[in-house]
Structure 1
Amino acid sequence: MKAEISQAEKAENLSMTNWFSLLGLAVAVLLSSLNISIVNVALPRLASSFSVPMSEVQWLVVVYLLAMTCFMPIAGIWGDRFGRKRLFLFGIGLFFCGLIACIVSESLTQLIAARLVQGIGAAIFISLAMTFVSDFIPATKTGTAMGILGTTSAIGTALGPVLGGYLISHFDWHALFYVSVPFCIFALLLLARQLPDNAPVPFKLVKSGRFLAQFSENPALAGSLTANVCVSAIIMSTMVVSPFYFTDGLQLSPAQIGAILSVGPIVSALTGAPAGKLTDHLGSGTVVRVSLWIMLLGCLLISASAFWTSVPVYLFALILVTAGYAMFQAANNTAVMTEVKEGQKGVTSALLHFSRNLGLMAGASVMGWLYLFTSTFFPATQNQPATAFGVTFLISAILVGLAQVMVSLRKGR
């Protein structure tokens, strides 16, 4: 009897260790998403503070995403080659250094450079986050774990506009970065203790998992990644383009804009974990296709909300878009990671985040440029921002259609 109790206690302790590890990974994911969205709502105010146009302050978002996008494949390969835990903790430490540099910056140039350091650090630990899930979470619960990480990412995205709007309204812009300090310290201390150590993978196995080779070896992966780029561009455009429309077209305050932008990510946070469970029960393919149809309807309604000048319609549409995005992320990540061979986990996880951040970067830069470019075709009236905003999200609906095509091709293969 004592032996049986001992084994049960051992299993319970192991389970708690796993959940603490997942908690630490979730906080790390929150750090990354929070530091994207907390700046977005403050972009108009930062442009005014530094006396620069929108195109220059956009680099605060773009350079962070660009650094993440460029370094993720490298970090995934290094993690498989030299050990994921050591590199993961180094990434969080580097992110913390970039965070401190943001706090002490006194010019736009210094702030952009600090955001670059932040982005490199985030690239390292985010690219490895999902690899640990497959290390200590059973395959039957992978969807749930992915949903939890997606929920935390959405929580960070939701906190960003609210905190950013409040802080930029009451304090200097430096305060935007103070809120991340305790999260960063907590994640570093918890994961240093809880993350499982993994032995480096032999170089031959790592070499076979190089991210360019993944596309030729697995054509279905290319469809998943392309769809990920499209939907991520759309979700970022709601966070970057919307503040300028609300400021120029509707004359809303930063606090009001932050409150509006937080609605969608809050819904995404609430639907992330259920979406993971739904993926476990219905299968990833079904959930991916349904999620894209929901996003398509949401994009069309966002476009209509601009022509109708209706904030309630926008809010309803934003709920659809972000809920669909949460479902897509949980199902798509599960579909990809459950088929990964040992020695390719790090690089495949990096590819998923690479495609996501490539899409986020496109949403922050290309979609932002599209909004400004479209507005030049219309007279300088109060309806100009609304018309440009509506056209931008009609094009977003086309991106969802492209994602549907890529998913269908993946299914055929």
Structure 2
Amino acid sequence: MALTAGKVITCRAAVAWEEKKPLSIETVEVALPKAGEVRIKILSTGVCHTDAYTLDGLDPEGVFPCVLGHEGGGIVESVGEGVTTVKAGDHVIPLYIPQCGDCKFCQSPKTNLCGKIRATQGQGTMPDGTTRFTCKGRSLYHFMGCSTFSEYTVVAEISIAKINDTAPLDKVCLLGCGVPTGYGAALNTAKVEAGSNCAIWGLGAVGLAVAMGCRAAGAKRIIGIDLNPAKFEIAKKFGCTEFVNPKDHEKPIQQVMIELTDGGLDYTFECVGNVATMRAALESCHKGWGTSVIVGVAGSGQEISTRPFQLVTGRTWKGTAFGGWKSRDSVPKLVDEYLNKRIMLDEFVTHSMPFEKINDAFDLMHSGKRFVDKFVHEYSTQVLQMRHNECGSQTVLIYIWLMEVAFILSLIMPQELREQNLAAL
């Protein structure tokens, strides 16, 4: 890290030059961190549906050209003036929801939606209104305050969680978005109670994380709802007790669920991002006390609706972002929960494929044929030096999650060289 501190870094990044076009692996320049900022060497990063949503031109805040990615893990390379909470060498997870600790949102126990840098983050810039990426003489915008599809990135200090340095970054990077979102939807937003009946629409990674949260809360029945029966057996590992495929029933799914649960569910979770299933999830709740949580993100401009009588008769409709976790406080604790085997991460990974097929991963996401939506690349601690010296050969491992995909890039190198590289950090 001492070799790069105080210098502009040249590295690789997957650049989104324009919407609806494949990502392009480019050489980019990453500027020094300014006051209150941190430059990170990204070792692992995930790709979420939100990245594809923006790349497809559906995000009203999407700006191009940009460096996407918001689910990563890495090591602090250098810090800007005034940074006190992290230092070079610290292991960190970038956060798309910051936590400044001072704004009215951070001061309130009712929300995790810090407002400190929301305006500039939504514009694709750092807090001072400028960017830290350039490529071919052009500035590249940031994404969700993270931009983890780059070997190096710069983020605000308030958008970093310092974590246990024994945690494997290729696993805990998943705690940057999807897993905490689902897990926290059950524990923080719904506040699922022991003995309750729950149902989850959509058994992708977020839905499975919801099931994990419901089980941790002591739910009695955890019903998984999905059109793909292949997901059902897998979901048992995460806590689902039974399964319903809407295609197996002629009745509306809400009627099926009400009959199945003697009047309706205590808690329901919509993890698809479909406004029709959002309504079905609410209307499957028990009269008088049922709560439905919207977890999935619907398309831009779409609206939800239901009969007002559904709410008048005691049902509650909620939404959640990042599972309600206060990010900087909570992510280190979630990492420790993983290390203590209280939450699952490894169980999401099942297959491998070549790294160069990152754009194929986006195609598979859209086709639905392979349940793809996670991409992780892990760089050797000295990958740039190795590449520039043309020393060693590269291999890319891609792990397909249960319903999602993770890609991990590593280098084949002698064990003694690998140990030297680790020691250099």
TM, length-normalised to structure 2: 0.29
Flag the structure with higher helix content: 1
Flag the structure with higher strand content: 2
